Structure 1
Amino acid sequence: MSALDDYRRALLALLSGCEEHVDALQEAGSLLAGSLRGGGVLHVFGSGHSMLPAIDATFRAGGLAPVNLVHDPALAPWEPTRVSAIERLPGYGTALTELQDLREGEMLVVLSHSGINPVPVEVAQHARSRGLTVVAITSRAHSLASPSRHPEGLRLLDVADIVLDTGAPVGDVTVTLPDGVETGPASTVVATFLLHSLAIAAMESLIAEGAAPPVLRSMNRAGGDDSNARAIAPYRDRLSRDP
């Protein structure tokens, strides 16, 4: 069996393990559907590579139209040295979130593999203080195996309303090559799956209640541009334009 086989099997096992989150996803989907019915927006946040699933949920074919990316260029994955320093700064996450148009009754998804740095914890805390439902997508195994860097010792999983565990292992590696080389990152794949699953659960809930979910189509399909313009129009002033 090759390392590629090992990696594929590891990812499939983690994705299969997400089945245990069906109830939590349905709960979160129902809450999100309620927010969307009232004109609410889904907010998503991640720093470093945890920003990638958040970006993937934003302005994408088959995804929800009202998705707002809460972001800061200093926390982008293409600035790894800067990210590692800034996401550990107490107070930065609170300041970032205070600048956002977050409204009571809406939902914020915070993605962080480790969930131990101050920034994602503060983003979640501040959103909850403003009456939002906070969903965490994180690795419980990695988080509990690592000391928190938050001043009060908090982790993301301690401050979220709903926690979706990626199951990604400590260090986010699933494959060990000869000479002890560790590789096979998994958190981004599983986190993206869970975030899209949450959106699909909300869509299904809306349809069951007779409401049309605001879903985007591929702009490369006939009529896609016009359809997307209509879907985004009610939320245009509240969506990030600079991911």
Structure 2
Amino acid sequence: MDVIQEYLDRCRAITETVEAQKSEIQRVARWFADTILAGRMVHVFGSGHSRIMVEEMWPRYGSFPGFNPIVELSLTFHNLVVGANGQRQAMFLENVPGLADRILRNFDLSELDSALIISSSGCNVVPIETAELFQKSRVKVVALITKEHSDQSTSKRSDGKKLGDFADLILDTGAPVGDAMVSITNLETPVAPGSTVGGAMLVNCIKAEVARLLTEAGHPPKVLSAGVVVGTEKAVELFEAAYDEHAHRLAKLYENVGKKADS
């Protein structure tokens, strides 16, 4: 029983699922590029392990400013597993109604913005409400889910709606129901999830296409690059410039917070 080969074969199938979504990826990239060219930001949110995809988008090597990574530690801090700040609390909090509103209350949203919401099941309350609130602000929402898993899962939201119900476009990781892809003889439950593989491919396909569009528009992005590729001095220059741009873009999300509510 070659479980390594089985996992690799399943990953190849995921690659085919991602490739079949090329036109959707291009459409998403156009929305995100338009947001960045307008001086605004693409909001990227995920609770639980979906945080992985948020950080895959920005900031890391090969990425660039224009994305607002919304990572709530109360929903994503898994290191301790049990005890204070444990996994039980995080799993409870990601299904608390109203928390999404408290998170987005920190930002002055614009219809020029766009958003990427990641949730493999698409069934937890906070990601669903986050997408709903973005749409109410006329922000285009892209949902990154595992479609087969989401279709067969039950929403934690009282009205039964899922993340896909509040998305302008849905991308599918291609992973199976339950996410885990390898079955082992005499082991009751499968192992080795696949949504991270598909999610990372989708995120980086989007990233590459956005970079192309920005460059063709005459605004090449400031890409975080390794010194071994561009030289130490240039790498430092790019990192500093990229972080500065991120700060300037982020400042726009804060400067009018509360003013509309108070007026």
When normalised by structure 1's length, the TM-score is 0.92
Q: Is the Cα–Cα contact under 8 Å of residues 61 and 219 in structure 1 kept in the other structure? A: no
Q: 2:107 aligns with which of 88, 94, 100?
A: 100
Q: Is the Cα–Cα contact under 8 Å of residues 77 and 87 in structure 2 kept in the other structure? A: yes
**Can you list the C-alpha shifts for 1:144-172, whole angstroms capped at 9, x where unaligned?**
10111112211111111111011211111
Aligned counterpart, 2:257: none
**Can you list the C-alpha shifts for 1:96-140, whole angstroms capped at 9, x where unaligned?**
122234332112111000001110001111112122211110011
Aligned counterpart, 1:120: 127
Q: Is the Cα–Cα contact under 8 Å of residues 110 and 120 in structure 1 kept in the other structure? A: yes
Whichever residue aligns with residue 38 of structure 1, its letter is: A
* Percent identity for Structure 1 against Structure 2: 28
**Can you list the C-alpha shifts for 1:82-106, whole angstroms capped at 9, x where unaligned?**
1211111111122212223433211
* Deviation for aligned residue 1:196: 1.6
Q: Is the Cα–Cα contact under 8 Å of residues 60 and 218 in structure 1 kept in the other structure? A: no
Number of residue equivalences: 240
Whichever residue aligns with residue 215 of structure 1, its letter is: V
Q: Distance in 1 between the 2:196 and 2:108 partners? A: 26
Aligned counterpart, 1:68: 68
Q: Does 1:200 align with 2:208?
A: yes
Aligned counterpart, 1:81: 88
Q: Distance in 2 between the 1:101 and 1:218 partners? A: 34
Give the alignment's Cα RMSD to 1 decimal.
Answer: 1.8
Whichever residue aligns with residue 208 of structure 1, its letter is: E
Structure 1 gap ranges (5+)? none
Aligned counterpart, 2:246: 235
When normalised by structure 2's length, the TM-score is 0.85
Aligned counterpart, 2:258: none
Q: Which of these two proteins has the greater Rg computed from alpha carbons?
A: 2
Q: Distance in 2 between the 1:84 and 1:191 partners? A: 21
Q: Distance in 1 between the 2:109 and 2:205 partners? A: 23
Change (3 A) 1:236 1:190: same
Aligned counterpart, 1:209: 217
Aligned counterpart, 2:183: 176
Q: Does 1:2 align with 2:2?
A: yes
Match of 1:171, SS? coil
Aligned counterpart, 1:140: 147
Change (3 A) 1:77 1:182: farther
* Deviation for aligned residue 1:237: 4.7
**Which portions of structure 1, spanning 4 or more consecutive aligned residues, are displaced by more than 3 angstroms?**
237-240
Q: Distance in 1 between the 2:249 and 2:217 partners? A: 25
Q: Distance in 1 between the 2:227 and 2:74 partners? A: 30
Structure 2 gap ranges (5+)? 79-85, 252-263
Q: Does 1:154 align with 2:165?
A: no
Q: Within 5 Å, which residues of 2 pair with 1:25-36? A: 25-36=25-36
209-218 or 17-26: which moved more?
Answer: 209-218
